[in-house]
Amino acid sequence: MRKLASRGFPPIAAPDARVLILGSLPGVASLAARQYYAQPHNVFWRVMGELFDAGPGVPYAERADRLRRNRIALWDVCKEAVRPGSLDAAIDLTTVVTNDFKRFFREHPRIAHVCVNGGTAHRLYVRRVQPVLPEPLSSLPLHLLPSTSPAHASLRFAQKLERWRLLDDLLAA
């Protein structure tokens, strides 16, 4: 029996976005809620709360608006892929369809940095997206940030937050 592919969401982005944050593909809780990072143990929104006052206690639409106002864009590398469950390790790489980054960068010409939320998003972007982007897009600075997923438990929240503070520096530049 063929498994159905999970489909990602449209980006959260304003035209003047400066930093693009990429995940891999929404997990089960996110797909059910139709929200990025809806899994309650994923600390993405806790980090965004510390940095941009866009924490999990703020309604989702307002969190998205706060990211836009802070010139942060949020998306996933995968437009769709087969993934039983929510673990990135379960993504069937033969089924990955990437999002249309050429179009995204054309519509968001001020993006100056790409940040990836964890190793899987990083590998997918480097292997599947960068090689098909024209210059100078393929050379945009790429920053690997520690995964906010509960599956990535080798760092405590404070350690993850400290690494994610890079966003402040990128936006100030």
Domain ranges of the chain: 6-172
CATH class of residue range 6-172: alpha beta
Global pTM reads: 0.95
Q: Percentage of residues in the chain with pLDDT exceeding 70?
A: 98
pLDDT, tens digit (0-9, with 9 covering 90-100), for 5-33: 889 999 999 999 999 999 999 999 999 99
pLDDT, tens digit, 9 for 90 and up, residues 48-85: 999 999 999 999 999 999 999 999 999 999 999 988 87
Which helix or strand (DSSP H or E) is residue 142 part of? strand 142-145
Token code pair at residue 112: 């100056």
Strand order in the sheet with 72-76: 72-76, 19-23, 113-117, 142-145
The pLDDT, as a whole number, for residue 2 is: 57
Average pLDDT over residues 165-169: 97
- Active site residues per annotation: 42
